[in-house]
Amino acid sequence: MALVEVTNECKDALDLDSVVAQVEFLLRSLKLHDDTEVSLLFVDPDRMAELHVEWMGLEGPTDVMSFPMDDLHVPAAGEVAEPGILGDIVMCPTVAAQQGAETGHGMTGELELLVTHGVLHCLGMDHQEDDERVVMFALQDELLAAWREVHA
């Protein structure tokens, strides 16, 4: 079973058990090794803004930042997944709540999206180029729909 470490450094009350269950679901769905490790950190906007400047050179808080570790990837058909550390995912629930209000799916729905987005970034997926964006967002939508169907 995957090792999912979650730390909540912000004031928001979060359903951390649901977050862990979602990450485990994602890792299984993506056919990653059972011994995959990942850590999630929830921070307030000030801390996220600090990290955003430090790592991206951009001002202000963002919603999610991913820090891949062991260069893991989704195994191809017939390939055996390697164990390892997927990476660290840092999220800001305050920003998620704002975005969730704007999109109409609330903070919980936005955090589900950000968890999925962060995991895919840790797997090396990106959305800088149009072709990358199409692939990443299609998989993200597929995984979110499957998660929400199971946990509706």
Q: What percent of the chain has pLDDT over 70?
A: 99
Q: What is the mean pLDDT of residues 4-32?
A: 94
Of 50, 51, 80, 65, nearest to 122 by C-alpha is: 65
CB within 8 A of 119, min separation 6: which ones?
A: 23, 26, 27, 30, 38, 66, 86, 89
Res 35 pLDDT > 80: yes
Q: What is the mean pLDDT of residues 68-75?
A: 93
What is the reported pLDDT for 13? 87
> Strands, E, within 27-96: which ranges?
37-42, 64-68, 85-91
Neighbours of 9 (CB within 10 A): 10
Count of positions (residues) in the chain: 152
What is the reported pLDDT for 128? 85
What is the reported pLDDT for 2? 77
The band of 152, judged by pLDDT with boundaries at 50, 70 and 90, is confident
Taking the model in full, what pTM does it have?
0.94
> Strands, E, within 1-152: which ranges?
3-8, 37-42, 64-68, 85-91
Is residue 86 within 8 A of residue 123, CB to CB? The reply is: yes
What is the reported pLDDT for 1? 66
Name the CATH superfamily housing domain 3-150.
Metalloproteases ("zincins"), catalytic domain (3.40.390.30)
Tokens 């939508």: give the residue: 141
Of 110, 100, 118, nearest to 6 by C-alpha is: 118
The two tokens of residue 63 are: 């919603």
